[in-house]
Chain A
C-alpha cells in the first residue's frame, strides 16, 4: 500500500505510485525523482516493466535496499544496455533469490550500473551473469561435505569488486581469475572471501597477470627519462586508480605534489599505452612552460571552457613545434566529432562545437564546413604564426568565438558529450586564479628544535669552512665530534642479507671477477724474470727466416694490483626518515631503511673483496655540533660489532657535508693504498639550520671535493634526491650518480662500487 502523501500529488504520479505498490517510506521519498528520470528514458512498456519488477523486489523479503537501488539505477542501466536487458537480469536475480545467496543481490544490483557501463552490451552482460552463475553454483554449499545450505562466501565480495575488476581485465581475463579462486579456495570460506575481495596477495597477482594495457608502475622510469630527455623537466608521478572512482572518471592533472596519471592505459587507435602517457606529459609540460594563469572571475563558465580548449590547442601546437612527431599521436587520440552528430535544437552543442574547433586546429586535413570553425581555426594559426602567443590572447580569441557562435540551446541541460573528450588533456586547474583568494601559502616556518644534547666522547676537531662570497676559508669554523655509533641487534643486518640472498649471489659472481688472482703472468716483455719459450721460439724462427723478430721474448709475474682503500660516508640527516617516494613503493620503507640494506650489502661485498674499508655517518646541528658517527674502522672486521652499529642507524638533524668529508678524509688519507675512494651516500643537498644562504654549504662541499682531490682521494656521490641535478654536479663535477628509483638502491650501490673499481 502506498503511503498517502500529505501534499498535493499529480494524478499521474499517484497512479504510478499505486502501480508500484511498495510501502517502504524510503522509497516514497525518492520515488518522484526516480520516476522523472525513468519517464525521460524509458518507453511506455519500459515504465510498466520497471514498476512491475520494482514491485517484485519490494515484496521479495530482502528489505528496502534492492528496490531502492533498482529504482535509482535502472534508468541509467537501461540507457547503456537497452531496456530489453531487464528480463535476463531479473532471471539472474531470481536464481540468486531461490538459492541461499539472497545476500548477494544487493551487491549485484549496486554494482550493476558500473559494470554495465564497462560491459556496454547485453551480450557481454549475459557473459558476465553466466560467469557469476557458474561461480555461485560451484561455491554454494560445497564446504567440506556440510549440507548444501551455505551461501557462497565469495559471491557478494565478487560483485562488490566487479566494476574495478572489469576495468582491469576483459571478461575473458575475469573468467580466468575467478576460475583460479574457485579452484584454490572453493573449500575455504575465509580464504575465498579474501581472494574475491582482492585482499590476498595471490588474488592481486593473478589479476595483474590477466590485466591488459600499459601500467604506470611498470613504466615510471621510462616516463621519467622522457621528461628529462625530451623536455628537461622532472616530476613525481602519482597514479590514480580507476578503482575508487567509477562514476567521475578522473582526469590527469598536476599540482605541487606531482603529475597525476591513470594507473593503466590501453593501446588505442594505433597509439601504444606508453605513448598515451607521453602525450599526457607533453601536454602538461606544455602548460608548465607556456601557460600563465589568468583570472577566472572575468569569464562566464562557457567562456572558460572555450578558453581552456584554445589554450590546450596552443600548448600542444607549441609542443609540436618542438617535436613534430607528436602530431601523429595527438591526431590519433583527439576525437573527430562528426559535424552533424549533434542536434543543437535538442541538446547543448557547446562541447561539440569546441571539440570540432580543437580538431580543426590540430588536423590540417579536417573536413568541417561550418564557417565559424574554419574562420577561428585560421585566426588561431594566424596568431601562432607570429610567435608563441599567450594565454591572454587565447582568452580574447575564445570570447570572440563565444560571441559569434552562442545559441539559446547551449543552456539545455542535456549536453552532447560524444566525441568531445580529449583524454590526454589535464583538467586545467593550473590555468586559473581567483581574485578573492588570499595568500594561502603562509610561509610555513618549520621550527627546528636545537637542543644542545650532552656531547660525549672525544674532544672536537675543528675544520675550516669555505666562504665563497669572500673566496676565503673561515678558519676553525666547524666543530666535529666523533663518537662510536650506538649498538643495536646485529641479527637484523643478517636478516637483511638473507632477504637479499638472490642479489648477493649475483654480486658474488661479479666480485669473483674483480678478485685479485694471486699471480698473473705478463707476457711480451723485453725485460722480464723468465724467458717466454713460445715467444722466443717464434722470434728465433722469424730471425732465421730473415723477418724482423719480436724482441719481447721475456715474461714476468706480478701479483695483480688491486690496492684500493674505501671510505663510505653516510648522510644521516633527518630527511632520511621520509618514506621512499615515488609510486611503486608499496613497501613503505624509509630512505633510511633502504640505505641500511644497501650499505649492508656493500659492506658485505667489500669484505668479500678484501679492500680496506671504513664506514662513517654524519649529521649536524649548526657549525658548533657536527656529529661524525664511527660505524666501521679500517682495522675492524665485518663482524657483529659493526653489524650491530649499522642495525642501530638513525637519522636526525641536518647535512653539513664539507666538514664531514674533511673529517672522514683524514682517516682515508692515513691509509697506505694506491687508490683512495670516498663514497658519499646522501639524499639531499648540504644544508644546516644556522646557514640561510643555500649556496654556502654547497660551495663548501665543492671546495672539500677539490681539497680531497689534491690529497689523491677520489670522491664519488650517490645521490637519492630526484632534484639533485640542480646542485650535485656543482659539488662533484662528473663524479656522481643520481638514483631515481630508490627501491633499487640495495642493488645499485654495490654495483656502482664494482663499476667504479674495476
Chain B
C-alpha cells in the first residue's frame, strides 16, 4: 500500500482568505462533493487547495493537465518488466485508493476524451473502473475530486463540457482587492507594504486593460515574482518590466502604457 504521508502537506502554507471560501470548502469536503475552482491564472487557486489539504490533514495529489495527457496517465497502465508486466496505478487511482484529495490543475488543458474518466468518481457511485485490469475501485471515504480551470481563455474549444461542469460545486476566484493583495505580496516575499502596494497598483493598471488588448491582467503570482526580484536586489523598474510587463504582452501600445505606469508609480 502506498504511503499516504508522502502526500501530506507538512507545513502550513500561507493562504490569505478572500471571503468565506475556507468554511465553504470544509462543508463541501464534509459531504465529499467534488469542487471546481474557476479563476484567472495565478490568483491563488492552487495555493488554496494546498492550504485546505493541510487544514483537513488529508493527502493531496496534484496533476498538472496538458494536451498530451491520456486517460492512462491518470488511471494507470501495465508496464513491461524483464519478467512480465506489472500494473502501475496512475495518480487518480492512487488518490482514490488512499483517500487523497485529487487536484486536476488547469483541467481544460487536457483533451476532453481524457477528462471523462473522472465522471464515475464524481457522482454517487464514487467508483473508478480500471478496464484493462478488470478491477472496479471503490473510492476511499476520504477521497475528493477537485479541478481548477480558467474561464478567461476565450476559446470555445477550451471550455469544459456541460456534462463535466454539472458534476461540480464551484468557487469563483478572482484577483484579491488591492489591500488583501498587498498583504499577500508582502507576506509571501517579506517585502514592505509600501513596495507591495506599488506593485499591486501596477497590477491594477493591467487589469483595467482587460478586453482592450489584454486577455488577462497581471496575476498575483507575477506580482510575487516582481517582489522577489526586487528583494534580491534588482532595481524595481527593471524587475517590474521583467516580471510584470514582458510576460503578458507583445502589444507595443500596451507595453508602453504599462512601462509608463511603472515609471509613474516609482518616482
List residues of chain A with CB under 8 Å of any chain B CB: 221-222, 224-226, 228-230, 232, 274-275, 278, 323-328, 524, 526, 539, 543, 546, 548-549, 551, 564, 675, 677, 709-710, 712, 714, 716, 725, 729, 733-738, 740, 755-758
Residue of A nearest to B213 (CB): A225
Assess whether A546 is in contact with B82, with CB atoms less than 8 Å apart: yes
Partner of B256, one of A222, A539, A725: A222
- Given the interface pairs A225-B257, A755-B155, the reply to whether A740 lies near B212 with Cβ below 8 Å is yes
Contacts of B159 in A (CB 8 A): 714
In B134-152, the 8 Å CB interface with A consists of: 151-152
Q: CA separation between A677 and B260, bound complex, in Å?
A: 38
Contact A551 B77 (CB under 8 A): yes
Question: B205 contacts which chain A residues (CB < 8 A)?
Answer: 229-230
- State in angstroms the CA–CA spacing of A729 and B212 once bound together: 13
Q: Taking CB as reference atom, which chain A residue is nearest B216?
A: A734
- How distant is the Cα of A716 from the Cα of B154 in the complex, in angstroms? 9
Query: Does A325 lie within 8 Å of B264, measured CB to CB?
Result: yes
Contact between A222 and B253, CB atoms less than 8 A apart: yes
A675 touches B253 (CB 8 A): no
Q: Which of A323, A543, A729 has the most CB of B within 10 A?
A: A323
The 0/1 profile, CB within 8 Å of A marked 1, for residues 45-70 of chain B is: 00000000000000000000000101
* Contact between chains at B77 and A324 (CB < 8 Å): no
Q: Please give the distance in Å from A448's CB to the nearest CB on chain B.
A: 31
Residues of B close to A735: CB separation below 8 A? 154
Q: How far is the CA of A489 from the CA of B212 in the complex (A)?
A: 36
Q: A675-B157, A757-B157 are in contact. Are A229 and B80 (CB under 8 A)?
A: no
Partner of A278, one of B208, B212, B260: B260
CA distance A463 to B256 in the complex (A): 48
**Contacting residue for A228 out of B78, B82, B212, CB 8 A:** B212
Q: Give the residue name and chain of the A residue nearest to B237 (CB).
A: A325
**Given A323-B265, A677-B156, A714-B156; A228-B256 close (CB under 8 Å):** no
> Are A756 and B206 neighbours in the complex by a CB distance under 8 Å?
no
Encode contact with A along B204-235: 1 for CB under 8 Å, 0 otherwise.
01101101110000000000000000000000
Specify which of B154, B206, B209, B265 is in contact with A734 (CB 8 Å cutoff): B154
B261 closest partner in A (C-beta): A230
Q: Which residues of B contact A564 (CB under 8 A)?
A: 156
The answer on a CB contact under 8 Å between A225 and B264 is: no
Q: Which residue of B lies closest to A525 (CB)?
A: B70
Q: Give B204 Cβ to nearest chain A Cβ, in Å.
A: 9
Q: Which of B211, B213, B264 contacts A736 (CB 8 A)?
A: B211
**B162 an interface residue at 8 Å Cβ cutoff?**
yes
A-B contact pairs, 11 of them (CB 8 A): A225-B213, A225-B257, A228-B208, A325-B263, A325-B264, A325-B267, A526-B77, A548-B81, A564-B156, A709-B162, A738-B212
Interface size class for chain B? 35 or more
Min CB distance A270 to B, Å, is 13
Q: Which residues of B contact A712 (CB under 8 A)?
A: 162
Residues of B within 8 A of A (CB): 68, 70, 72, 77-82, 151-152, 154-157, 159, 162, 205-206, 208-209, 211-213, 253-254, 256-258, 260-261, 263-267
Contact of A275 among B70, B156, B260 (CB under 8 A): B260
Q: Whole-angstrom distance from the CB of A274 to the nearest CB of chain B?
A: 8
- Which chain B positions have C-beta within 8 A of A221? 253
Complex interface: chain B residues within 8 A of A729 (CB): 211
Contacts A229-B206, A278-B260, A735-B154: A328 and B212 contacting too (C-beta < 8 A)? Answer: no
Contacts of B253 in A (CB 8 A): 221-222, 225
Provide the bound-state CA to CA distance between A712 and B166, in Å: 12
B167 to chain A, nearest CB (A): 15
Shortest CB distance B189–A (Å): 22
CB-CB under 8 A for A756 and B266, given A229-B205, A229-B258: no
Residues in chain B near residue A756, CB distance under 8 A: 154-156
* List of A residues within 8 angstroms of B260 by Cβ: 226, 230, 275, 278
**Cα-based distance from A95 to B90 in the complex (angstroms):** 97
The answer to whether A734 touches B152 (Cβ under 8 A) is yes
B211 / chain A contacts, CB cutoff of 8 Å: 725, 729, 736-738
On whether the beta carbons of B155 and A229 are closer than 8 Å, the reply is no
B235 to chain A, nearest CB (A): 14
Given contact pairs A734-B151, A740-B212, a sample of 14 additional A-B residue pairs in the complex whose CB atoms are under 8 Å apart:
A222-B253, A225-B254, A225-B257, A226-B257, A229-B257, A275-B260, A325-B264, A325-B265, A328-B267, A526-B70, A714-B156, A755-B154, A757-B155, A757-B156
Chain B proximity of A101: nearest CB distance (Å): 48
A736→B162 CA distance, assembly (Å): 20
Across the interface, which residues of B come within 8 angstroms of A758, CB to CB? 155, 157
* Chain B contacts for A755, CB-based, 8 A: 154-155
- A526 touching B72, Cβ below 8 Å: yes
| Set of chain B residues within 8 Å of A740, measured between Cβ atoms | 212
Assuming the A-B contacts A229-B208, A677-B156, A757-B157, are A549 and B80 also in contact, with contact meaning beta carbons closer than 8 angstroms in the complex? yes
* Contact assessment for B267 and A225 in the assembled complex, using a CB-CB cutoff below 8 Å: no
Complex: how many Å from CA A539 to CA B85?
A: 14
CA distance A278 to B261 in the complex (A): 11
Complex: A279 Cα to B77 Cα, angstroms:
64
Q: How far is the CA of A735 from the CA of B80 in the complex (A)?
A: 47
- Chain B residues closer than 8 Å to A327, beta-carbon distance: 267
- CB distance B265 to A710 under 8 Å? no
Complexed CA–CA distance, A326 and B213 (Å): 25
Name which residue of chain B comes closest to A319, CB basis. B264
List, in ascending order, chain B residues with CB within 8 A of A328's CB.
267
A742 CB to nearest chain B CB (Å) = 14
Which A residues lie within 8 Å of B156 (CB)? 564, 675, 677, 714, 716, 756-757
A753 shortest CB reach to chain B, Å: 11
Bound CA–CA A431/B225 (angstroms): 44
In the complex, are the beta carbons of A710 and B154 less than 8 A apart?
A: no
A551 vs B80: C-alpha distance when bound (angstroms)? 7
User: What are the nearest 10 A-B pairs in CB distance?
Assistant: A324-B267, A325-B264, A323-B264, A714-B156, A225-B257, A229-B205, A325-B263, A549-B80, A222-B253, A325-B267
Distance from A33 Cβ to chain B, minimum over Cβ atoms (Å): 50
Closest to B40 in A: A734
How many angstroms between the C-alpha atoms of A755 and B37 in the bound complex? 25
Residues of A within 8 A of B212 (CB): 224-225, 228, 738, 740
Q: Is the CB of A230 within 8 A of B264?
A: yes
Report A-chain residues with C-beta under 8 Å of the C-beta of B79: 548-549, 551
- Tell which of B154, B157, B264 touches A326, judged by Cβ atoms closer than 8 Å: B264
Give A204 to B152 CA distance when docked, in angstroms. Answer: 44
- The docked-state distance in angstroms from the alpha carbon of A551 to that of B267 is 60
> Most chain-A Cβ atoms within 10 A of its Cβ — which of B72, B78, B205?
B205
In the complex, which residues of chain B have a beta carbon less than 8 angstroms from the beta carbon of A757?
A: 155-157
User: What residues on A are CB-neighbors of B70 within 8 Å?
Assistant: 526
* B206 (CB) vs chain A CBs: closest residue: A229
B257 surroundings in chain A (CB, below 8 A): 222, 225-226, 229-230
CB neighbours (8 Å) of A326 from chain B are: 264
Distance in angstroms between the alpha carbons of A758 and B156 in the assembled complex:
9
A670 CB, nearest partner CB in chain B, Å: 18
Measured between beta carbons, the chain A residues less than 8 angstroms from B77 are 526, 551
Contacts of A228 in B (CB 8 A): 208-209, 212
Distance to closest chain B CB from A215 (angstroms):
14
Residues on A with beta carbons closer than 8 Å to the beta carbon of B208: 228-230, 232
Q: Kindly provide the distance from the CB of A282 to the nearest chain B CB, expressed in whole angstroms.
A: 8
A735 to B215, alpha carbons, bound, how many Å? 10
8 Å CB contact of A325 from B152, B157, B256, B266: B266
> What's the Cα separation between A521 and B72 when bound, in Å?
19
* A324 to B197 Cα, complex, angstroms: 13
Residues from chain A with Cβ under 8 Å of B82 in the complex: 543, 546
A734, B211: Cα distance in complex, Å: 9
Q: How far is the CB of B121 from chain A (nearest CB, A)?
A: 21
Query: How many angstroms between the C-alpha atoms of A256 and B151 in the bound complex?
Result: 37
The smallest C-beta distance from A184 to any residue of chain B, in angstroms, reads: 34
In the complex, chain B residues whose CB is within 8 Å of the CB of A222: 253, 256-257
Q: Which residue of B lies closest to A734 (CB)?
A: B152
**Closest residue on chain A to residue B82 by CB atoms:** A546
